Amino acid sequence: MSAFGLPLYLIDKTPNNLTDSEFTDMYERVRMRVHCTLRNADRTVVMVYKSGVMAPLACLEYGAGNALGTIQVNGKAAVPMNDYLIRVTKGSRKFVASDGQTYTWKYTPDAEEVWQCLNPRSYSVATYGSSGASSNSHNLTIEEGWIHLTAELLASLVIMRHIVKYNL
């Protein structure tokens, strides 16, 4: 992806749907898709795709009753979600991305439900929240220096939102 000096502004037009949503960059640089490929009583499988790439970049498999299951990112071995996203506090969890750095998602449960991902130096890497008071869409903003982690940031955000939604 070319460097434009701009963050990636991914618009989520179906923020209430954790298993089927499309995130489209407002400048049409990239599209990401979160898509449920299997749902039955025993498990739910959700894939994260990038436009132009046939294979999924991440696979999220949840257990029965919306329990956390496993995550597989960038073709690596599947690991339990609780081992991938380690609880720090009630509203935050951390994970180690493919660049070897630890990132922490923090949730602010106010009216706007803002999510923020910070790097080890507490720099904001990504934020997710409402586009505005009258908007039904949300934005996932990924700072330019971390665009290469888009699939991991999106997959971990989906899991974090699942944890909050199902009070896990």
Please spell the DSSP secondary structure of 23-82, one letter per residue: EEETTSS-EEEEEEEEE-SS-EEEEEEETT-SS-SEEEEE-GGG---EEEETTPPPEEHH
What is the b/e burial string over 4-43, where b = at least 16 CB atoms within 10 angstroms of the residue's CB? eeebbbbbbeebeebbebbbbbeeebbebbbebeeeeeee
Q: What is the pLDDT of residues 133-147, one digit of tens each?
A: 556 889 999 999 999
Rounded to an integer, what distance in angstroms lies between the CA atom of residue 55 and that of residue 48?
Answer: 9
pLDDT at 135: 67
Q: Which amino acid is at 124?
A: S
pLDDT at 2: 53
Range of the domain at 16: 8-165
Whole-model pTM: value is: 0.93
Tally the residues of the chain.
168
Q: What is the pLDDT of residues 97-155, one digit of tens each?
A: 999 999 999 998 876 678 999 999 999 999 999 876 556 889 999 999 999 999 999 99
Report CA torsion sign: 151, 13, 47, 103: positive
Residue 3 lies in a domain: no
Question: What's the domain count of the chain?
Answer: 1
